[in-house]
Chains A and B, each alone.
Chain A
Amino acid sequence: MTLAARYNRLACALVMLGVAAYATAAGSMLVLLCLPVIAAAWYARVKHGWMLPRLAVNILLTGVIGVAVYRVLGGPVSVDTIAELVLLILLVKLWDRRTPKDDGQLLSMAVFMGIAAMLTSIDLVVGAEIVVMIPLLAASVMLFQVYAGRGDGPGAASALPRGFMRHVRSLVALTVMCTAVVGLSVFVLMPRGIGRDRFGNWGMTYARNVSGFTDTVTLTGGGGVISQSPEVVLTLQVRTSAGVSLGGEQTIHYLRGAVLERYEGGVWSAAPEPSVTTIDAVAGNTLLLTDEPIRVTVDQTIVLRGLGPQPDYLFAEWRPVRLQYHSAARHVPPNAARVLRAGAKEPGRFEYTVSSSLGIDDEPGERSPVRPVEGPIADLARRVLRNAGIDPDPAARPLGQDMDAARSLQDYLRNNFRYTLETEAAPAGRDPVEWFLFERKAGHCELYAAAMTLMCRDVGINARLVTGYVAVEYNAPADQYVVRASNAHAWVEAELGRGRWRRFDPTPSDELARIHRPAMGLLTRLRNWLDAMKFAWERSVVSFDEATRARVIGADRDDAEGLFPAVDRFLARVRAGGPRLLGTALGAGAMVFVVCAATGSGLVLLAHMMRRRGTLARRSRGVRGREAELAQRLTQVRFYDHMLEALTKQGRGKPAWRPPLDFAGSVDDARQAAAVRSIASLYYAVRFGGSDLDDAQRRDAEAALAVIVKG
């Protein structure tokens, strides 16, 4: 393959990848449709030399400038505006590749498209495309240097010097390795938080806030937490205080967010708070949320994919007792319902660890007073309890039976109603909960939870509606739960004695599992891996902030973790251990080297063998191809076989060892000798000369054959 061909392939791939990265980042199908156009333009230029006339190119470029001016005058200039302008110029320049300078401009524009993609999105796919672009860019530019120097002269079409591509590959590998090391160093060492938005907002720098939680749930249609979006909201790791993971595919965790206590006109809302004050918390701050003694706890490390600067809900299992921020936050002191809220100081990924108490409560004291609302719901609740053998009158019912009462209501709802995600609005003027309980008898989790909350209150049990997420999708490779927007859920907390809130979920458990738990198949596993990668990407790249940086490099020497302390510890060990430790280290190093070298050599050998096999197979195919071609050609000289047969019949057969022309000289009869010579010459021309016979030669051969056959 010539240099030009190799360069064109790489450059085309680079340009397409740059545009694809931007298309992915911007989520633009229109930009994605440019890819075939680019491929076609490149093909047309390389294969057929097609280009637009200068005049047409100038007209198109003028049009592009016009579009740019229109866009600039029409609104603020954004990354998208510039990227679209570059893309349009690129599309025009594709048809105007006359000199190496034009190629250089195309490569530069591909790089700009990549930068625009990064400014537009920080998604894993975009990152992967950029990572692939780097070696491609290095190889393209290296080949471009040689291609541009050679020019389009006669040398351009000649084969590459031996070893050229091997050395180019080595240099690309060296480049990628060095740039990766430098890039990683710069990535880690560059301080964060300096100069943010000094020149305005250039693009999307952090993931959007996708929790989408509000303080209200509207049952009359619309609103609520019901969502079928697969977008990941948060990831959750659950561990005991001893560090043992509590995650599992069969374990469900309820992450409560908002607590809604007021119900009015089909709308649930949180109790109003007179004022919300925030406290600045730096990364690493730990806040106690209760004065109670903390017994057994479960630690949940939660990473929200996006949290804005305004206070928003944090999520935790009941009952949060301690909160540690891993990102700088504006902390909102929890209210009586222990609802956690905070805003991020640096918008984007937000990480915190919350400890929830699993301690056994003290003996119940007294029941909180609840004012029942008389009506059909209350009648139903009482009837359910009476059917379960529980006195619905709170005054007559012992406090210890409240648990059974709540469970009875929960079971009633689970067993007598159909779960559906079809959100049908209640008829005008009808209370949605009543309509659910008495007419439709089907609904989603909000209706279930709302119904149970009201029914509990009507039988004297204080209850509240809680919205949050159920964590059911356990990702084993990452040892974490992935919580999506579709995992939003609503349930009930009932107070079984003052301050003793218990969780009840009236949604049918099998339906809950069916709706929220993902099907376990190959695709799901793949998605899990992808999610794990996305998580790792966002955790280690996208959300790398000043706190993480300080932790990694150990900017504070007193910090126990980090790079510098690790180096210090290592040096101290070397000093303390002396030559013996050094010897052990060298031995271990040698062992690692031998293992790595053996593995690497094995892989190289394997690759070489596979390549060799491929080469042999190709050669074999080539030989077979030539043989087939020869066989096809020899069909033209069947007269030679007929001649040999005729001579054999006449008892003058040609010995196998004798060449045909030599044999012709040994034929006695002059006419026959001339005929044999003529046929032999034609046979030579076809068999060894590779030429095809024309009609006149065929006629000559037939005439000569007739002479031989006649004898």
Chain B
Amino acid sequence: MPTKPDDILAIRDLEVHFEQSGSSLSRLLGRPSGTVKAVDGINITLQRGEVLGLVGESGSGKTTLGRAILGLVPATSGTITYTPPAGEGVDIATLKGATLRSMRQRLQMVFQDPSAALNPSMTLETAIGHPLVIHKVASGEELRQRVIASLERVGLSPAEQFLSKYPSDLSGGQKQRAVMARAIIVGPELVVADEPVSMLDMSVRAKVLQLMLDLKRDLGLTYVYVTHDLATAKFFCDRVAIMYLGKIVEIGPSDEIFADPKHPYTKSLLKAIPDPDPSKAIPRDLPRGEIPDAARPPKGCSFHPRCPMARNDCGWEPRDLKSLVEEHWTTTDLATFEREHELVGHLVELNTSAGEVVVEPHRGKGSPDDVWAMFSAIKDARPDEPLWRGVTSMEKTPAGVKFVFAPSSPVNLRASGASEVACVLYPSAP
């Protein structure tokens, strides 16, 4: 795919998958083990001088994507094309060894925990000058002068006082400044900042963000800002990509995303941020549950089991029925739970993504009529559950109760206004 001259990075169909090792028995028998699709088909183009926010919960793949940009995790497939100011684009995904390492003069990273990112036994002079030594850029007096200049640039001044200090002598904010100094000393173009302020105190966060904005202005940096914090992303980013389970569910200019969030997940995230305004009550209509296991992602739209606005074609499957029964058990009295649990057991037959499933009485305890009565009662108690929209039929069979689920519609990113949204509620414009 051609890139425009001011595009610094073009990510196309990027996938990063991690193989699970599985049990020793399955390894011995050569059975296939699970795959975690940490990054699952991402397309992003990053312009020079832009701040792109990658926002999501833990397990959304935002950190893996950030690391893949620097080649810190190998891409399973897809391309990451970096275009220098003058010259040809390079596909980072195919680079290895020394050529990949030499790219790190152009692409740098700031890690989340500044205490863990600095070697406790290195003075700041050694630590910050280390990239120059590794890339054989400078040595001796020039090295020292460049370290001093870098320290001054991040506000650790007078620099001479900091050269011989160890990380343990510094406060959290100072450490993160030192990490910034180390990242910029090689003169990078793109900095991937992975939660750079989430470990810092409130009164310090603003200072470090301000420093990052100053560095961007002075050095013409481009940032990829990885965070779970929508509030700092709103302030800091030009464009925001909301990630869920390895996929981008919504991407667009910050103004658009925050003024007019479209994906139900984005809307929930915005509603859930605790706001320091006591007049606002606790939000009560939040999605239940948590981000699912990436090794077994839900069918259709990954967010559908938690989505308050889900339709019939969002990818409902037997596993969702199991969650509903378990939730129902948290509301019944103990006697009802024990009777029903005895009747259907642990519902292992529902651990599937099949389009239809039959729930039978567990080990012959009870009749299909009992199972039918149980599910009818659950349905009658909460007929508005989004799941029932996805159940096209529930019928009694000689063996048990048969459920048929509606097929799912595809959820690709589609343009809507200035953003792109991956949700069936926003079909592509005709």
Q: Are these two chains actual partners, yes or no? A: no
**Residue ranges of B at the interface with A (Cβ–Cβ < 8 Å):** none
**Residue ranges of A at the interface with B (Cβ–Cβ < 8 Å):** none
